[in-house]
Amino acid sequence: MNLNPSRGDLIRSQNYVSGRWLDAHDGATFEVCNPADLSRITAVPDSGARDAEAAIEAAQAAFAGWRATPAKARGQLLKRWHALILANQEDLGRLVSLEQGKPLAEGQGEVLYAASYVEWFAEEASRIEGDLIAPAVPGRRMMTVREPVGVVAVITPWNFPAAMIARKIAPALAAGCTLVAKPAEDTPLTSLALIRLAEEAGVPAGVINIVCASREQTPALVDVWLADARVRKISFTGSTPVGKHLARASADTLKKLSLELGGNAPFIVFDDADLDAAVDGLMVSKFRNGGQTCVCPNRIYVQDKVFDSFADKLVARVAALQVGPATDPKAQIGPMINARAVEKILHHIDDAVARGGRVLTGGQRVHPELGPNYVAPTVLADAGQDALLCHEETFGPVAPLFRFRSEEDVIRQANDTPFGLAGYFYSENVSRIWRVADALETGIVGINEGAVASEAAPFGGVKESGYGREGSKYGLDDYMHIKYLCQGNL
């Protein structure tokens, strides 16, 4: 099966700045490869400081006009973009699978998920409102209005190349902001294709600008945005170390920040849980996208009494998962994104085994004849709490099981991490449900549910998983500020 989009113009190999498709200023490029077999797909610009600067100039020049465009018209543009994404769902889904490796059904699903944010914020644009405040003293009128913050810099990861950028661009445009964007170096093509469709939807020149860069060149490019006071906000999804760097480097110009960072999600199975439902929930939340999702469970705590039966049921399901390239219609787990990711996953497995862990299924690379990036879906049991995979995100198809005795113990273990993005638990006891939901230190809690993300719900973390929320009625707040107007002498 061929993964190339049927519409040839959806494979772009240039930046988009000020309404024009352009090479990097110095003509440099880097290659984009298919993680399934490392074959070359195309090359895109390896942009530098001059390109970063040009993108800011364009976004700043377009800001006044876009901000003055009525919110309803901004929403209508987003609706046209939404319709075009849906009309090209199959091509975009192929592109996601081509450059990211996920099974085709997941690539198609991600496109719908991305589109759902565009539709949501198309509608939210019409609901930007202020307040009339009861005056504290006579003769005054006091009110608030909400204004777009200005030029936004958008930086995205590779694991959801359509959804991550869509859920930043859509609220930014709805709010009246213009933007400069840099997609992940492993997966720039889906983002460029989405921008091509935004161009087709009629987005005015300069409102969206996107520049690509290799991993080596990225700091030089992003440093220009960090230092420039015209960039008023950074919206970043990616790892915690890079998020902290962006926060530090934004301090001099005091930019607003939204940081969707790493997670280390606990998944707790109490002995009063419906075990089959818990296994179903874990399969969805852990193995979607090959375990390369920031909300996926990293530590699975199972209560003593049900540990063995839960492990048996889980191993049967995981051992049956089919690993293969997106071109194989039976594949449920694709290749990992790159060699760095594979090394980290194998290192976490070896470390867990060295600390007393047992491999119940998987535990090694598979299909070397296809390429070097395939890892067997793995279940581990009884590694010590000092294992690396208890403390760092594995970001792969590895489910480590830990036993626990009491609710009190497991809550302590679950919260014993600097991260706080998602947490999950399964229980049929209503009082326990409220207690545990209150006690988990995470921004998102799945209660008897493994698939929690929705455009209608706020997505984001606490602690070192970052701050800010994407989606939902709160999603526009990060792209706007509140201005207070006070009229006297009435």
Give contact residues for ligand NAD (rule: CB under 6 A): 155-159, 182, 184-185, 215, 218-219, 222, 237-239, 242, 245, 260-263, 294, 393, 395, 421
DSSP string over 216-244: TTHHHHHHHHHH-TTEEEEEEES-HHHHH
DSSP 3-state of 295: coil
Closest contact distance (angstroms) between CB of 225 and ligand NAD is 9
Distance of alpha carbon 53 from alpha carbon 161, whole angstroms: 24
Determine whether 260 is an active site residue: yes
Residue 180 CB, shortest distance to ligand NAD, in Å, is 13
In whole angstroms, the minimum distance from the beta carbon of 126 to ligand NAD comes to: 27
**Residue number, 34 or 237, with CB nearest to ligand NAD:** 237
Closer residue to ligand NAD, CB minimum distance, 87 or 220: 220
Q: Which is nearer to ligand NAD, 407 or 464 (CB)?
A: 464
Could you tell me the smallest distance in angstroms from the CB atom of residue 176 to ligand NAD? Answer: 24
Distance linking the first and last C-alpha atoms of the chain = 72
| Residue placing its CB nearer to ligand NAD in the complex, 163 or 360 | 163
- The least CB distance from residue 340 to ligand NAD, in Å, is 8
Instruction: List phi, psi (to 5°) of 212.
Output: -100, 155
Task: Give the dihedral sign, CA 418/419/424/429.
Answer: positive
Query: How far is the C-alpha of 30 from the C-alpha of 306, rounded, in Å?
Result: 51
With contact defined as beta carbons under 8 Å apart, do 151 and 111 qualify? no
Q: Catalytic one among 110, 199, 260, 455?
A: 260
Q: Which uninterrupted H or E stretch holds 248?
A: helix 240-249
Nearest residue to ligand NAD on Cβ basis: 238
**Residue 85: both structure tokens together:** 């994404």
Torsion of CA 281, 285, 289, 294, to 10 degrees: 180
Q: Reduced to 3 states, what is the DSSP secondary structure of residue 251?
A: helix
Q: What is the dihedral of CA 276, 277, 281, 287, to 10 degrees?
A: 20
Q: CA angle, 26 as apex, 24 and 28 as ends, to 5°?
A: 65
**H or E element in which residue 162 lies:** none
CB of 282 to ligand NAD, least distance (A): 18
User: With respect to ligand NAD, which residue has the nearer C-beta, 263 or 266?
Assistant: 263
Minimum CB distance to ligand NAD smaller for 57 or for 185: 185
**Positions marked active-site:** 260
